[in-house]
């Protein structure tokens, strides 16, 4: 990709929009950013733009989508929007920030004759942020130079900017990748990739579950025999993933596939007799060892899966078993993912604000043997809340509902446990304290997006923690 002197339109001025605009401007492109939001809403991002970047705020003038050489869209912008459809019909190239980062890294290194920086990419409905952060720590602890970004932390285009470091010194880019980002890839080819799981999510954006699955499976669209793919052998969607892969790999250009499982022995990693067993039979460097998850700082059955996935990718990327074992023992987990906040009068308060879909909440509830008082609700993403019924019946003492989806959730599960409806998160926390007994867990795990009441899931989690600490 040659961008010097090109006209580029950036659609969407959030984290990835700022990163893409600034990097393209530094590389000599003429950049215009357009966003429908108001200047007041975008003020935190406008101040981060390079002075050379032009902005059109509050509207999407058609000429910005027609008189341009390239359009780069933020993940929140659907390809189905009318201006983008019109641009595609006219033959204008439309990509996302992930594809832009990948092409610019490859182009720079090819032009300079430098060794290739490899991408390690993580997607899935649940667990991808934890796996991404854990993998990054293992890679660094193994002595490799790496950065992390994408759907976690900074935008990848911000991370690869020459203002921060020389790409020639970089071994790996560890990227958390969303289905939205995968919609707009073209040549993106990760050396190592994983699809951790696929459960219903973002069905307010996708016309069907199949469309969502297809987007996730674009992760391995360009992978070949020199690459590897890590899959969850226990996930019901793994068969569908392999079916889609089979159609893409019909020419024999298939990545090597490894699995992780909590239920059976597989080629890769499995959980058996209380230990995680790694078994990677590669001709040049076979790997076999075990680790004890009881020594991990991160708890829960879902984190056993996350540990297996991150470790497998690391081992297949050249990281040592000692670095894997050492990192698994010290990794503290991430904020807003089953984060312990406080114990008050024998009641534990847990911040799981990142539980933004039903599948994530199921995993979180499964992590506790204690009775759970669940705080849920927010903006519905067309989730099937009835899927919570079995676990709510067995493990949830009461449910406290907030936000736009409270009536839908109450209708789905209100006949099997105590239901309380509150107007604010502060009131929900206070209610949780009132009805909890020593030994209970009060957990915020909303099964919904946050945008009806909060800026984002981080804002929601921090407000929950504030309310808990003020009890």
Residue 126: inside a domain: yes
**Are 85 and 102 within one domain?**
no
- Which of these three, 276, 302, 330, is where a domain ends? 330
Query: H or E stretch including 442?
Result: strand 441-444
Assigned domain for 270 exists: yes
Q: How far apart are CA 204 and CA 356, in angstroms?
A: 13
Residues 125, 227: one domain? yes
Minimal CA–CA distance to 352: which of 452, 235, 442, 451? 442
Residue 1: the pLDDT is: 67
Q: What residues contact residue 148 under an 8 Å CB cut-off, 6+ apart? A: 132, 133, 136, 159, 173, 174, 175, 176
Helix (H, G, I), strand (E, B) or coil at 196: coil
Residues 215, 108 within the same domain: yes
The answer to whether 210 and 184 have CB atoms below 8 angstroms apart is no
Q: Which of 232, 156, 221 is nearest to 194 (CA)?
A: 232
Tell me: do 268 and 349 sit in the same domain.
no
pLDDT of residue 163: 42
Q: Which domain holds residue 220?
A: 98-330
Beta strands in 314-395 (DSSP E): 339-344, 347-351, 372-376
**Does residue 351 lie within any of the structural domains?**
yes
Question: What local confidence, expressed as pLDDT, does residue 116 receive?
Answer: 82
CATH of the domain at 365: 3.90.190.20
Q: Are 327 and 310 in contact (CB under 8 A)?
A: no
Instruction: Confirm if 445 and 361 have CB atoms less than 8 A apart.
Output: yes
Q: Tokens for 349?
A: 């308060």
| Beta carbons of 158 and 192 less than 8 angstroms apart | no
DSSP string of 98-149, one letter each residue = HHHHHHHHHHHHHHHTPPPPEEEEEE-SSSHHHHHHHHHHHHHHTT--EEEE
Q: What is the CATH number of the domain that holds 204?
A: 3.40.1190.10
pTM greater than 0.85: no
pLDDT at 380: 93
pLDDT, one tens digit per residue, over 182-224 is 999 999 999 999 999 998 888 788 889 999 999 999 999 999 9
Find the helix or strand (DSSP H, E) in which 352 lies: none
Q: Are residues 103 and 73 in the same domain?
A: no
Three-state SS at 161: coil
pLDDT of residue 151: 77
Rounded Cα gap, residues 52 and 410, in angstroms: 51
How many other CB atoms sit within 10 Å of the CB of residue 188?
Answer: 27
Do 117 and 187 belong together in one domain? Answer: yes
| pLDDT confidence of residue 76 | 83
CB of 274 within 8 A of CB of 294?
yes
- For residue 301, being part of any structural domain is answered with yes
109 and 255 share one domain? yes
Tell me what pLDDT residue 111 has.
Answer: 63
The phi and psi torsions of 415 (rounded to 5 degrees) equal -90, 0
Place of tokens 């935008």: 155
- Domain for residue 278, yes or no? yes
pLDDT of amino acid 376: 97
Asked if residue 374 lies in contact with residue 396, where contact means CB atoms within 8 angstroms, the answer is yes
**2 belongs to a structural domain:** no
CB atoms within 10 A of CB 177: 29
206 and 314 together in one domain:
yes
Q: What pLDDT, on a 0 to 100 scale, did the predictor assign at position 165? A: 45
Q: Is the domain of 173 the same as that of 279?
A: yes
CATH number of the domain at 80, please: 3.40.50.720
Q: Does residue 392 lie within any of the structural domains?
A: yes
Return the pLDDT at 109.
67
| Pairing outcome for strands 347-351 and 339-344 | antiparallel
74 and 108 together in one domain: no
Strands 372-376 and 441-444: parallel
Number of domains in the chain: 3
Statement to judge: residues 108 and 76 lie in one domain: no
Amino acid 387: pLDDT:
94
Taking 70 as the pLDDT cut, the residues of the chain under it are: 1, 108-114, 162-168, 282-284
Domain closes at, from 56, 91, 126 = 91
Q: Are residues 33 and 182 in the same domain?
A: no
Q: Characterize the bridge pairing of strands 256-261 and 396-401.
A: unpaired
Q: Which of 311, 330, 349 is the last residue of a domain?
A: 330
| Residue 1 within any structural domain of the chain | no
């Amino acid at each position: 990709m040659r961008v010097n002197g090109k006209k580029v339109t950036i659609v969407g001025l959030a984290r990835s929009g700022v990163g893409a605009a600034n990097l393209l401007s530094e590389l000599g492109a003429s950049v215009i950013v357009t966003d429908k939001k108001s200047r007041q809403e975008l003020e935190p991002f406008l101040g981060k733009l390079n002075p050379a970047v032009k902005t059109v705020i509050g509207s999407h003038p058609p000429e910005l989508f027609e008189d341009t050489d390239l359009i780069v869209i933020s993940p929140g912008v659907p390809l189905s929007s009318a201006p983008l459809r019109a641009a595609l019909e006219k033959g204008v190239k439309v990509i996302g920030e992930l594809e832009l980062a990948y092409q610019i890294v490859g182009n720079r290194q090819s032009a300079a004759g430098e060794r290739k920086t490899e991408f390690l990419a993580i997607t899935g409905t649940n667990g991808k942020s934890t796996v991404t952060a854990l993998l990054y720590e293992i890679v660094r602890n193994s002595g490799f130079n790496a950065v992390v970004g994408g759907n976690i932390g900074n935008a990848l285009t911000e991370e690869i900017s020459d203002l921060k470091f020389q790409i020639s010194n970089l071994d790996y880019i560890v990227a958390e990748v969303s289905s939205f980002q995968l919609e707009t890839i073209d040549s993106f080819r990760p050396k190592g990739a994983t699809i951790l799981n696929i459960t219903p999510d973002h069905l307010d954006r996708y016309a069907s579950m199949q469309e969502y699955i297809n987007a996730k499976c674009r992760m391995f669209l360009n992978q070949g025999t020199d690459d590897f793919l890590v899959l969850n052998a226990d996930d019901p969607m793994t068969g569908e993933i392999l079916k889609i892969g089979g159609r893409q790999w019909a020419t024999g250009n298939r990545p090597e596939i490894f699995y992780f499982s909590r239920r059976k022995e597989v080629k890769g990693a499995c959980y058996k007799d209380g230990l995680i067993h790694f078994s990677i039979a590669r001709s040049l460097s076979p790997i076999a060892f075990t680790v004890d998850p009881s020594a991990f700082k991160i708890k829960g059955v879902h984190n056993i899966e996350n540990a297996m996935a991150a470790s497998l990718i690391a081992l297949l990327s050249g990281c040592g078993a000692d670095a894997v074992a050492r990192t698994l023992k010290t990794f503290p987990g991430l904020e807003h993912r089953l984060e312990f906040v406080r114990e008050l009068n024998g009641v534990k308060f847990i911040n799981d604000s990142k539980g933004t879909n039903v599948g994530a909440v199921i995993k979180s509830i499964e992590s506790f043997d204690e009775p759970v008082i669940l705080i849920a609700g927010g903006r519905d993403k067309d989730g099937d809340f009835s899927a919570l019924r079995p676990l709510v019946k067995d493990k949830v003492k009461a449910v406290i509902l907030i936000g736009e989806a409270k009536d839908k959730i109450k209708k789905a599960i209100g006949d099997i446990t105590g239901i309380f409806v509150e107007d604010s998160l502060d009131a929900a926390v206070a209610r949780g304290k009132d009805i909890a007994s020593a030994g209970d867990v009060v957990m915020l795990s909303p099964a919904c997006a946050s945008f009806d009441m909060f800026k984002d899931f981080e804002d929601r989690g921090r407000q929950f923690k504030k309310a808990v600490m003020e009890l």
